[in-house]
Amino acid sequence: MATKCKKCGKIHFPPVADCGECLSSDMEWIELSSEATIEAFTHVVVRPLTFQDEKPYTVAIGRLKEGVRVLAWLVGFKPFEIKVGMPAKLTVIEKDGNPIYVFTKPE
Ligand SMILES: [Zn+2]
């Protein structure tokens, strides 16, 4: 879910209460399509302390059909499969009891 400004139409993800574009507080909820195009990615081998228990992972920026950019882990791809411009699906998984966003292969 994201918020859309009723005044200027700007879509915010993560959702916000006030529009950063026109400062209006007149927002509505919209459901995002989850269809994304990968714009940038990086393989993280030297992990920060809080991720020492993780295997090396890939972080990507994807642009959703609605135009918003999302930063999330990319899961389920082999490293050589990952390319800028490829389609991916934004989905929610549970990790250590918390919901997190990840990009996965589209069906
Ligand atoms: Zn606005």
- The mean predicted confidence, pLDDT, of the chain is 93
pTM: 0.83
Provide the pLDDT for residue 66: 92
Residue 101 CA to ligand 1 centre (angstroms): 25
**13 with 29: CB under 8 angstroms?**
no
Provide the pLDDT for residue 68: 92
pLDDT in tens, 21-32: 999 999 999 999
Please report, to the nearest 10 degrees, the dihedral formed by the alpha carbons of residues 104, 67, 29, 96 taken in order.
30
Give 41 or 46, the one with higher predicted confidence: 41
Residue 6 CA to ligand 1 centre (angstroms): 7
Residue 46 CA to ligand 1 centre (angstroms): 39
pLDDT in tens, 48-100: 888 888 888 999 999 999 999 999 999 999 889 999 999 999 999 998 898 89
Measured distance CA(73)–CA(60) in Å, rounded: 6
Provide the pLDDT for residue 70: 93
Provide the pLDDT for residue 14: 87
Provide the pLDDT for residue 83: 96
Q: Averaged over 33-41, what is the pLDDT? A: 95
Segments in 9-101 forming alpha helices (H): none
